[in-house]
Every structure is written in structure tokens, then in C-alpha cells.
Amino acid sequence: MVSGTSTWKAPSIDGLPEGRLNMAHEAVDRHVNHGRGATVAMRFLSEDQPDRSLTYLDLSIQSSMFGSVLRTLGATAADVVFVLGGRRPESYIAMLGALKAGCAVAPIFTAFGPEPVRQRLSAGRGRILVATAAAYLAKVRPIRDALPDLRHIVLIGPKSEGIEDAGVYPWDSLMSEASPDFAAVPCDPQDRAFVHFTSGTTGTPKGAILPHQAVIDHEATARSVLGLREGDVYWCTADPGWVTGTAYGLIAPLTCGVTCIVDESEFDARRWAAILQDHAVSVWYTAPTALRMLMKAGPELWHHRDLSALRHVASVGEPLNPEVITWGRTHLDRVIHDTWWQTETGSIMIANGPRTAVRPGSMGQPVAGIEIALVERDEHGERVLLPDGSPSFVKEPGTQGEIAIRTPWPSMMRGYLNAPERYAACFAGGWYLSGDLARRDADGYVWFVGRGDDVIKSAGHLIGPFEVESVLMEHPAVVEAGVIGVPDPLLGESVRAFVTLGPGFEASEELRRDISAFARTRLGSAVAPRQIEVEPRLPHTQSGKIMRRLLRARALGLPEGDTSTLGATA
């Protein structure tokens, strides 16, 4: 249905003979071939050890060695190599090595609990996993029986020696025997490079497949939107468990040949301000939640701070409040540039670039080569499609609609893993339908309105209410659960759950805490609800679905809106 094209050719991409391509070749090996091997590619910072730098040559050699390791383990293009390694050097080396070997890479966020990890590994039929020893012990070992496909686990980080489980090997012992003689596999530009899991309103997470040719858009937008150029020290604060952390924390900047900063430690306001200064960061790509936390830490952090190297600041993932922009102007003396995209779009689609005038509160304008339109929705919030299947567009400036993008573009997702219908449902009449609602002003600036679905955005990460509800319902006391996002001054939204109890269970603080602990253990801190409320009953539609919209309206004291579909038990 959506036919991609393989004929793209950007000047800063070398490609491989006969129209072939490999992302890792463009990001790493190409620079070595062009005599830039001695440039520092990545500098890793952590609280408890000295900084470690890897040059482009180091990355090239070590990723080739990991490519050899994967070959020895029997990996082929059919494999999805999972990485549960956080921001450690080995994670990035493993991802590049897997790309070189022609495997797809699926990074998993380390703050997930065993249940989200199991779902993702099962969906990708993962045979090979790279994980920190800590993540393996806490999240994978307890569920290994439920993962029959998982054959090989490569352990990284402290304590990875001495675990004697079958099929588990320490990174160092595999790498010490690996040959660096391994050239990147020439892939079809459309071949899958990354599988990034993202959450929907219903069902299990969707594994969005991004192709090798996404590197074309990564490189182009890194230059045009983030303004990257030779000699830059670039800090993308995103974790590689999310698409920003791979697309703009690894592939895009390396393809541009800059030096990337990776901070392995968790957020700390004082440390972050010091990193910007001490490492002379010139381009900084971060997220509204982090910026709000920096705001909260107080203005002293920026007194006498030398940020003279800092040329460009950009943000992504959630609405960038105008007050954050004002704060940036006052305390950093910089304008913060919003950018909009999604896992599915693979690269930045709408942005305030270095050369456009920022309108605080607006996400900016479509990037070069991208055409967007706003799709009409009817009074029930459903898309309006014309008889020929194409979308009906909003014409009037200032009128709200769903962001649609004309297909194709190089980084566009090529599918959802094992879910062709869910993939097909994202497209109509040659357009990709994003699910996000926005307005466009007369000058073409796009203003975010909200999501068109029930998916929760907390600390920049998408959380599917259905996944959380399913786990809550596995608690012996819980009969039914409804999960929504409520506004949170730091996180954007936080997860709130409403549950009903089965016969014989009485609501008590103790039980509530027990359900909360159960959810945290199963789901992990990134996904578990912050707040759980016990209710006598939940509102349903006549067809039996929980009305999350109504839960949200009630929780926030908003008008309940159209309740014509409300069932009798509400």
C-alpha cells in the first residue's frame, strides 16, 4: 500500500555499491575511510568513574568485533537483537555491531519491569539479548521460562562475570576472541534497522520498524534543524531505549561526524548544568520534563556559568511550555527550539530551526521535504475520510485537525512487527495519520493541541493505558481497572489508576499500597501508576468499554461532555 522509494541520495551519505546502504557504515566506518578516525565520536560520563572516550576508529573496530560475535552466535538478517543496556558504551557498540551485521536492533528501556520486557522480547521473538547483569537478574532471569526463543544473552557492566546460567556470556570474554575484520553488510535501503516499541490505546506495544535509509533524514535534520556541523560537541539527553536516543543520540550525530556526550548517570540538575559548561556543549537536544526540572532547581545553578560554547538548544517529546522558553531566555540566554516527531515518523517532521523565528508555544513548521495537512474529525472525534478513502482536510487557519504527513519519506516506519492491520490503519489516501491534534496559523506554524487517543505521555515516554490495566487486573483483589493520564507539573502527565475490587475485598490503605507495589514490581518505575484509587464502579460504554475520557473528566472536575454512549452501570 505504502510504497517506499530507494532512490534517495543525499550528498553527505556515501552509500554502498549498487545502491546498498548500511546505517552503521554511514555513522562510523565512513569517517574512518575519510581519514577522520581519530576524532572523538562518543564521550561517556558517569558519577563513579573517569570519563571514557571512543574515537570513530575505536567505534568502528569494536562494533565490527561485535558484528563478528553475532555471526558466531548465528545471527542473521531475520534476527531482532534486543539491547537492555542503558547508556553504557557497550550498548552503543552492540547496536552499531548489530546494524553492521544486518540484524534489526530493538533497544528496551532499563526502567521497565519484567512484564514490559517479556512482551517486547516475545513480540520480536528475540533470540539474542545484550543486557546489563543487573537488568538480566531482575527482569529477564525470572521470566526466562516464558521466553522459549531467547538463546543467547550477552552481559555487560559490573557483576557480569560469574553468572553461570545457560546461554549467558560476559561481553569481555566474547569480545576478547572476536575478529575486528568485519565489514558492514550491504543492506537494501528499505531493510529494517531499528524496531522501536511504542504504546497504543489497546493491545500490546507496537514494534515500529525503521529502515536503514532513515539515516538520510537523520543526517539532513541533524544539520538543518539541530544545526550540527563539524567540531560540535553535542549532547542528546535521551536514553537509547527510546527513538530519540537512537535516531538523535547515536545515528544522526555520528553521521554528521560530531562528538557525542553520553551521561550514564540519572538526572541531576547541578551535574547537568556543569556538563554543559565543562564539556563545552555546543548543541543540546533535550526534553521539556528535564527543562522543567532544571527550572525547579533554581536560578543559582546558572550564575557565573560559562555557556559560551552553547549555540543551539532544542527540545522534543511533549509540549514545550512558553514559560520554559522564557526561562531559557533569562537563565541560559538561549532560545529553546521545539521539534515534533514520533517513533513512527523516524525523524523530526515539524520544528523551529536555527534560522526561523520561534513563536513560543508553537512546534514550528514542517522541515524541508515534508508536507503536512490537518485532517478533519467529526463530532465523535473520528477521522473524516472521503469516499475514495483519502482524508478530508481542515482548510481554515486556526482550526483544529489531526496531523497528517504525505507519504513516503526515507525514515517513515515500514511496518509494525507482526501487526499489518495496525500498520495499515495509520495510512489513508497517501497520507500518514499521526493521531496528534494541532492547529496551524496563517503563517504555517503548527500548534500542538493534544493527542487524539488515550495514550499517556509521562516524562516524554508513551504509556499505553491498556497495558497498565491488564497488569492491575492480575492482582487478586482487582476486578477492573481504568488508567488515565492527569496533568503533572514536572512529568507533563502522570499515570493514575482507578480500580474496582472483587467480592470479599475491602478498600483499605494497606490494600491500595499492596496493589501499587504489585504494579511497580511487574511494570517497573517508568510505567506503574503513581496514584491508585479504589472506586465502587467504573463508567462503561454500552458496549462495555471503560470510558477513560469520563474518568479523566471526573478526575479533573471537567465537563463530562457527550455521555450518550454511557452504559447503565456508570
Smallest distance, ligand WT7 to C-beta of residue 440, A: 14
Interaction between residue 342 and ligand WT7 (CB under 6 A): yes
Q: Say whether the peptide bond before residue 408 is cis (omega within 30 degrees of 0).
A: yes
Smallest distance, ligand WT7 to C-beta of residue 285, A: 11
Smallest distance, ligand WT7 to C-beta of residue 323, A: 15
Q: Find the helix or strand (DSSP H, E) in which 273 lies.
A: helix 269-278
Interaction between residue 63 and ligand WT7 (CB under 6 A): no
Interaction between residue 283 and ligand WT7 (CB under 6 A): no
Interaction between residue 405 and ligand WT7 (CB under 6 A): no
Q: How many helices (H) and strands (E) does the chain have?
A: 17, 27
Interaction between residue 120 and ligand WT7 (CB under 6 A): no
Alpha-carbon distance 294 to 290, whole Å? 6
The answer to whether residues 116 and 524 touch, using CB atoms and an 8 Å cutoff, is yes
Smallest distance, ligand WT7 to C-beta of residue 448, A: 4
Interaction between residue 416 and ligand WT7 (CB under 6 A): no
CB closer to ligand WT7 out of 137 and 486? 486
**Facing residues of 206 across strands?**
198
Give all strands (DSSP E) within 212-280, no chain letters: 233-236, 259-263
Residue nearest ligand WT7, Cβ-based: 343
Supply angle C-alpha 446, 386, 397, rounded to 5. 25
CB closer to ligand WT7 out of 22 and 434? 434
CB closer to ligand WT7 out of 79 and 338? 338
Interaction between residue 448 and ligand WT7 (CB under 6 A): yes
Interaction between residue 109 and ligand WT7 (CB under 6 A): no
CA 503 to mean position of chain CA atoms: 40
Interaction between residue 82 and ligand WT7 (CB under 6 A): no
Radius of gyration of the chain (CA): 23
Q: Which residues make Cβ contacts (< 8 Å) with residue 145, sequence separation at least 6?
A: none
Alpha-carbon distance 453 to 183, whole Å? 44
Interaction between residue 21 and ligand WT7 (CB under 6 A): no
Interaction between residue 526 and ligand WT7 (CB under 6 A): no
Among the listed residues 354, 363, 307, 316, the one whose alpha carbon sits nearest the alpha carbon of residue 335: 354
The answer to whether residues 439 and 399 touch, using CB atoms and an 8 Å cutoff, is yes
Smallest distance, ligand WT7 to C-beta of residue 343, A: 3
Exactly one of 100, 451, 496, 522 binds ligand WT7 (CB under 6 A); that residue is 451
* Count of residues of this chain found to bind ligand WT7 when the rule CB under 6 A is applied: 21
Interaction between residue 469 and ligand WT7 (CB under 6 A): no
Smallest distance, ligand WT7 to C-beta of residue 291, A: 12
Q: Which residues make Cβ contacts (< 8 Å) with residue 549, sequence separation at least 6?
A: 454, 561
Interaction between residue 454 and ligand WT7 (CB under 6 A): no
Exactly one of 68, 132, 213, 343 binds ligand WT7 (CB under 6 A); that residue is 343
Question: In this structure, what C-alpha cell is assigned to residue 401?
Answer: 485537525
CB closer to ligand WT7 out of 150 and 243? 243
Exactly one of 26, 29, 79, 318 binds ligand WT7 (CB under 6 A); that residue is 318
**Facing residues of 151 across strands?**
none
Exactly one of 90, 115, 232, 338 binds ligand WT7 (CB under 6 A); that residue is 338
Question: Which backbone phi and psi does 485 adopt, to 5 degrees?
Answer: -100, 135
Q: Find the helix or strand (DSSP H, E) in which 427 lies.
A: strand 427-428
Of the candidate spans 48-56, 238-246, 329-337, 535-543, the one that interacts with ligand WT7 by CB under 6 A turns out to be: 238-246
Interaction between residue 244 and ligand WT7 (CB under 6 A): yes
Using a 10 angstrom Cβ sphere, with 0-12 exposed, 13-18 middle and 19 or more buried, the burial of residue 143 is middle
Smallest distance, ligand WT7 to C-beta of residue 319, A: 4
CB closer to ligand WT7 out of 58 and 239? 239
Interaction between residue 15 and ligand WT7 (CB under 6 A): no
Smallest distance, ligand WT7 to C-beta of residue 313, A: 14
Interaction between residue 157 and ligand WT7 (CB under 6 A): no
Q: Which residues make Cβ contacts (< 8 Å) with residue 403, sequence separation at least 6?
A: 350, 372, 374, 375, 434, 436, 437, 438, 446
**Facing residues of 433 across strands?**
404
Q: Helices in 279-404 by DSSP H: which ranges? A: 288-296, 322-327
Interaction between residue 91 and ligand WT7 (CB under 6 A): no
Interaction between residue 496 and ligand WT7 (CB under 6 A): no
Alpha-carbon distance 397 to 444, whole Å? 8
Residues 358-387 close enough to bind ligand WT7 by CB under 6 A: 363
CB closer to ligand WT7 out of 101 and 358? 358
Smallest distance, ligand WT7 to C-beta of residue 549, A: 17
Interaction between residue 286 and ligand WT7 (CB under 6 A): no
The answer to whether residues 152 and 140 touch, using CB atoms and an 8 Å cutoff, is no
- Tell me the CA end-to-end span of the chain in Å, nearest whole number: 42
Of the candidate spans 144-152, 185-193, 316-324, 505-513, the one that interacts with ligand WT7 by CB under 6 A turns out to be: 316-324
Question: In this structure, what C-alpha cell is assigned to residue 93?
Answer: 557498540
Smallest distance, ligand WT7 to C-beta of residue 462, A: 4
Question: In this structure, what C-alpha cell is assigned to residue 8?
Answer: 534517495
CB closer to ligand WT7 out of 152 and 206? 206
Exactly one of 340, 409, 427, 518 binds ligand WT7 (CB under 6 A); that residue is 340
CB closer to ligand WT7 out of 63 and 198? 198
Q: Contacts from 13-19 at CB under 8 Å and sequence distance 24+?
A: 13/215, 13/216, 13/219, 13/255, 16/184, 16/186, 17/186, 18/186, 19/189
Smallest distance, ligand WT7 to C-beta of residue 31, A: 26
Binding residues (CB under 6 A) for ligand WT7: these are 198, 242-244, 316-320, 338-343, 363, 436, 448, 451, 457, 462
